[in-house]
C-alpha cells in the first residue's frame, strides 16, 4: 500500500483530531450537564484519541523522540480502557463496575511501566508509521488493556441498544469498537490498520454522538436500581 506523503498525512490526521476534539467537547458538556458518568469517561477517552492523532501527525513530520514514542505507545492502549469505562457504567452491579475499573487501572499501570523501561527505538517508525516489532512486555501489557476493553464495549453497547431500543447508539458502539480493535492490532504488529480504523471510527462516533438522540440521566451512565447484569 502506498503511504501518504508527510504533509498530507499530517494534515489528514490533524483534520481527524479536530473532529475528535469536537466530539470530546460535546461529551464533556453532556457530562457537566449531569447526563451521566459514562459521558465523562467517553470525554477522557476521546481526548486521548485527539492527543494520539496529533502525536501521529508529529511522526509524519519526522520530529519524534524516544520519550515521545514511549508516551504514544502508552496512550494508544490506555485510551481504549478509558472508553470502555464509559461502557461499563451501564452495568447494574457496582461491584462489577469497581472490579473492572480496578483491572483497567492495574493493567494500564503495568503498560506504563513497560512503555517507560522496555527498549524502544525510533527505527520502528517508517514513513510516519510505527512498523517495527515492539518489545514483548509492551505487546502483552497493552493487549491486556485493549482486547478485554473491546469485548466489554461490544457486549455492553449491544445489550444497551437492545434494552433501550436506541438503535442509533450502535453508531457509537461501532466507532469505539473499531478504534479499540485497531488499537489492539496496532500493538500486535498490524500498525497500518490503525490509520484506516481511526478514520472509520471517528466518522462513526460523529454519526452516533451527532445524530443519536440524548438519553436521560436516568438511563445513561446511571444503572438501574435493580435487576441482573
Set of cell numbers at residue 213:
438522540
Q: Report which DSSP code applies to 107.
A: H
Compute CA 12 distance to the chain's CA centroid, rounded to the nearest angstrom: 19
In a domain, 15, yes or no: yes
Cβ partners under 8 Å of residue 29, min gap 6 = none
Residue 130 phi, psi dihedral angles, 5° rounding? -80, 105
In a domain, 216, yes or no: no
In a domain, 14, yes or no: yes
In a domain, 217, yes or no: no
Residuewise pLDDT in 10s, the chain (229 residues): 334 445 666 777 788 888 889 888 988 998 898 888 888 998 898 899 899 888 888 887 777 889 989 999 999 889 889 988 987 887 778 999 999 999 999 999 999 999 999 999 888 877 667 776 788 999 899 989 988 987 887 777 777 777 777 676 677 777 777 766 665 555 555 555 566 666 677 778 767 665 444 444 444 444 444 344 4
This model's pTM is above 0.85: no
In a domain, 223, yes or no: no
- Helices 37-60 and 66-87 cross at an angle (nearest 10°) of 150
In a domain, 133, yes or no: yes
Structural domain containing residue 131? 6-211
Domain count, the chain: 1
Name the burial class of residue 111, with classes exposed (0-12), middle (13-18) and buried (19+) by CB atoms within 10 angstroms of its CB. Answer: buried
Dist CA 217 CA 229 (whole Å): 19
In a domain, 227, yes or no: no
Amino acid at each position: 500500500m502506498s503511504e501518504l506523503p508527510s504533509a498530507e498525512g499530517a494534515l489528514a490526521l490533524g483534520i481527524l483530531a479536530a473532529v475528535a476534539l469536537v466530539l470530546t467537547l460535546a461529551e464533556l458538556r453532556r457530562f457537566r450537564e449531569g447526563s451521566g458518568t459514562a459521558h465523562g469517561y467517553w470525554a477522557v477517552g476521546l481526548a486521548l484519541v485527539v492527543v494520539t492523532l496529533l502525536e501521529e501527525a508529529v511522526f509524519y513530520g519526522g520530529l519524534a523522540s524516544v520519550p515521545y514514542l514511549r508516551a504514544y505507545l502508552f496512550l494508544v492502549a490506555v485510551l481504549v480502557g478509558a472508553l470502555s469505562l464509559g461502557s461499563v457504567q451501564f452495568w447494574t452491579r457496582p461491584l462489577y463496575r469497581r472490579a473492572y475499573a480496578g483491572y483497567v487501572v492495574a493493567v494500564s499501570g503495568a503498560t506504563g511501566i513497560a512503555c517507560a523501561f522496555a527498549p524502544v527505538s525510533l527505527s520502528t517508525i517508517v514513513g510516519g508509521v510505527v512498523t517495527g516489532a515492539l518489545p514483548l512486555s509492551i505487546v502483552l501489557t497493552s493487549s491486556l488493556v485493549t482486547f478485554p476493553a473491546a469485548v466489554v464495549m461490544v457486549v455492553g453497547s449491544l445489550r444497551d441498544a437492545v434494552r433501550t431500543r436506541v438503535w442509533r447508539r450502535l453508531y457509537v458502539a461501532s466507532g469505539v469498537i473499531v478504534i479499540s480493535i485497531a488499537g489492539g492490532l496496532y500493538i500486535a504488529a498490524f500498525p497500518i490498520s490503525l490509520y484506516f480504523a481511526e478514520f472509520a471510527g471517528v466518522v462513526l462516533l460523529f454519526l452516533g454522538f451527532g445524530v443519536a438522540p440524548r438519553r436521560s440521566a436516568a438511563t445513561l451512565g446511571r444503572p438501574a436500581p435493580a435487576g441482573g447484569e
